[in-house]
Structure 1
């Protein structure tokens, strides 16, 4: 079955009127940098007498490329989460965004970081602290994961779209 990484957070802002949910997936700047490193390093490795000495570096770069393959799946999951929050939990969507958060970078699977709302906004803090609010947020995430799993099991190759 599918393996996923979901990091749950509550947001904060100096502007106490800030509100809404955001879901992040790994930003492209991380993988573009890694691709450039791979190209540069691979060209040097070819000139070495003992290219095996660079196996650890190559493995790290390959892990980066694998993470890149998960980016599309991560974006799809992020879209599903935001859709559930907006339509099921009636939360304001601040959108799906890309970022280079280390927790996303380190995951070897589709990964998202979910900001469930702003604790600095009195209304959102009450919602997030309530049984109803927590149930709606949890239900939205559950439904997004369920829908992701259905697509995954259908064999859709989300990574190559």
Structure 2
């Protein structure tokens, strides 16, 4: 039953996002969708008495004003005033605009005097801290009407549900990481504590079919940082940092060099190892029995084969590191195996990938 709920949610989101996007009109400008987090009945966090929804909106509107000075850029807002917008509607706005970028702006909170600015891209939250950040932002769905229907029973408090929304949907991850790294570089230039680029399962990022990032400007609960973010100076400096990063990204796109730029981040600076689990990339299934040699598989090495009934399944790679496994998928697709996908094995038996990943999410 739980698996059916998760699959139902994934199917719903795929339909929700891809249909509007595919029907969008041809555009002649670089479209940036700016999303001010929270709004209306949802104030966001209220650290030190400040309102996240107000600060996020002021920063987003300033970013938009700066971007509009470029005649080649079209700016679309998910909200321009203090109003509540459902998370799935924010994604639809971006997809219908056939956006080139989606940037969602928020402020963080903590029970301590934690501080610093960070930028998130869609992905597997690698530790409890990242999951908690995503959980806080995703919990907004409880304020929406018919949220059970709109999100097919998705529970933002369940790590396995948050994982389910990102599996297999990382098409724009490289571009997202590149934009996020540009934003973080600019924050560092402002002498802000660098909380780095991280991954987490944010619903609002999942629903967009373009490079997307979520910016946490800083902690309103920190006395000094909250005051800074609530000030005109702080909002201008942060908005200029985001704007400059978007313009640098656009320039790289115009010069067609984004894919040649190595993202300067290693998320959490650690390998993501799963003890006792082996990840492989399934590249083919056939009734033909082929020798697992590179010459039979477009030069791919480390090929293995399993036999089930009349079908032989062929796999590329073998690693317990999830990040290395994702790199193997990219390698297989680059070789022409465009429908290849990741599978997991334990003690020689194939096991559900989501079950493996959720063991490392809390």
TM-score bracket for the superposition, by shorter chain length: 0.7 to 0.9
Supply the distance in 1 between the matched residues of 2:219 and 2:172 (Cα, whole angstroms): 28
Secondary structure at the aligned position of 2:256 is classed as coil
Identify the residue that residue 199 of structure 2 maps to in structure 1. 98
Once residues 101 and 159 of structure 1 are traced to their aligned partners in structure 2, the CA distance between those partners, rounded to angstroms, is 27
Q: Residues 1-161 of structure 1 correspond to what in structure 2 (within 5 A)?
A: 1=30, 3-15=100-112, 17-27=113-123, 33-34=167-168, 64=169, 68-87=170-189, 89-158=190-259
Q: State the structure with bigger RCO (CA 8 A, min sep 6), 1 or 2.
A: 1
Q: CA offsets per residue over residues 25-66 of structure 1, 9 Å max, x none?
A: 0115668733xxxxxxxxxxxxxxxxxxxxxxxxxxxxx3xx
Give yes or no for contact 1:73–1:159 (8 Å, CA) kept in 2.
no
1:81-126: CA deviation from partner (whole Å, max 9, x where unpaired): 0000111x22111110011100111111100000000000010011
Q: Is the 8 A contact 1:5 1:112 kept in 2?
A: yes
* TM-score normalised over the length of structure 1: 0.73
- What's the counterpart of residue 313 of structure 2? none
Normalising by the residue count of structure 2, what TM-score does the alignment of the two structures yield? 0.33
C-alpha separation in 2, matches of 1:32 and 1:18 = 28
Report the Cα distance in structure 1 between the residues aligned to 2:180 and 2:239, rounded to whole angstroms.
Answer: 15
Structure with more helix by fraction = 1
What is the CA–CA distance in structure 2 between the aligned matches of 1:107 and 1:151, rounded to whole Å?
Answer: 21
Aligned to 1:59: none
Checking the alignment, whether the CA contact within 8 Å between 2:123 and 2:166 is kept in structure 1 is no
RMSD: 2.1
| Dislocated runs of 4+, deviation >6 Å | none
Distance 1:160 1:149, change over 3 A: closer
Give the deviation of 1:157 after TM superposition: 4.9
Gaps of 5+ in 1: 35-63
The residue aligned with 1:37 is none
Aligned length: 127
Counterpart in 1 of 2:88? Answer: none
Q: In structure 2, how many angstroms separate the alpha carbons of the residues matched to 1:159 and 1:103?
A: 28
> What is the match of residue 50 of structure 1?
none
Q: CA deviation at 1:73?
A: 0.1
Change in 2 beyond 3 A, CA 1:30/1:78:
farther
